[in-house]
Amino acid sequence: MKKVLIIEDEQNLARFIELELKHENYDVDITNDGLSGLNKALQQNYDLILLDLMLPEMDGLEVCKRLRAQKDTPVIMITAKGEIYDKVTGLDIGADDYIVKPFEIEELLARMRALVRRYSEDHQSNPDIINIDGLIIDKHGFSVTYESQNIELTKTEFDLLLVLAENQNHVLHREQILDHVWGYESAVETNVVDVYIRYLRNKLKPIGKQKLIETVRGVGYVIRK
């Protein structure tokens, strides 16, 4: 089931869209202001966000801009404004599509299906990129970035982060990590895994991601989605 966030201050419209989406088997959350919408979008994983332009607390353009700094969740902007400037500005800062009120719900559903499908195809065609809540791991380029900031890692630290990222939600035993990162023939003791996990957490701490890697006591480590 696809999960959608509606950020819309017109409560009757938000409720109408919610009912239509639930009828189409979408899981739906609603927020009525930009700030709470942004926080929800960053804290949870959505397949698509419907974002109004004129919102209290924080306007839709600012929400989209801040969201794009950390996540690539597909965004359709919904607004009563139809001027070219607003459309161009919204698309320039990262919105994927734009629909103007009033609109037919069938058109919105069609745009949503197309966008989710395109997003899925794009991600399948670029398996070298892993995005974990805005932390971008480029397997081919051996780089890790967050909000356009490069995170300097040694090769061992990168390999350690990569094996955990490629096995999200699967707890890896220290022996498994040792085999993947240091190799089957390595004479390295398993406690070196703990040491490098500490190194890696220290590298992620300045961007607030030190808790990304969870310790499973007596077993090993995991990154959870």
| CATH classification at residue 17 | 3.40.50.2300
Q: How far is CA 90 from CA 27, 48, 98, 140, in A?
A: 25, 16, 8, 31
**If we measure between CA atoms, which residue out of 170, 165, 93 comes closest to residue 135?**
165
Contact residues for 66 (Cβ-Cβ < 8 A; gap 6+) = 38
Residues 41 and 8 grouped into a single domain: yes
Residues 67 and 8 grouped into a single domain: yes
Residues 150 and 105 grouped into a single domain: no
CA distance 196 to 118: 38
77 exposure class (CB count in 10 Å sphere: 0-12, 13-18, 19+): buried
* Cα dihedral 140, 141, 145, 147 sign: negative
Would you give per-residue pLDDT tens digits along the chain (225 residues)?
789 999 999 999 999 999 999 999 999 999 999 999 999 998 888 889 999 988 999 999 999 999 988 888 899 998 876 655 566 777 778 888 989 888 999 999 999 999 888 877 665 556 688 888 888 898 888 899 887 788 999 999 999 999 999 999 999 999 999 888 887 555 567 789 999 999 999 999 999 999 999 999 989 999 987
Domain count, the chain: 2
Residues 115 and 138 grouped into a single domain: no
pTM of the predicted model over 0.75:
no
Provide the domain limits for residue 81: 3-124
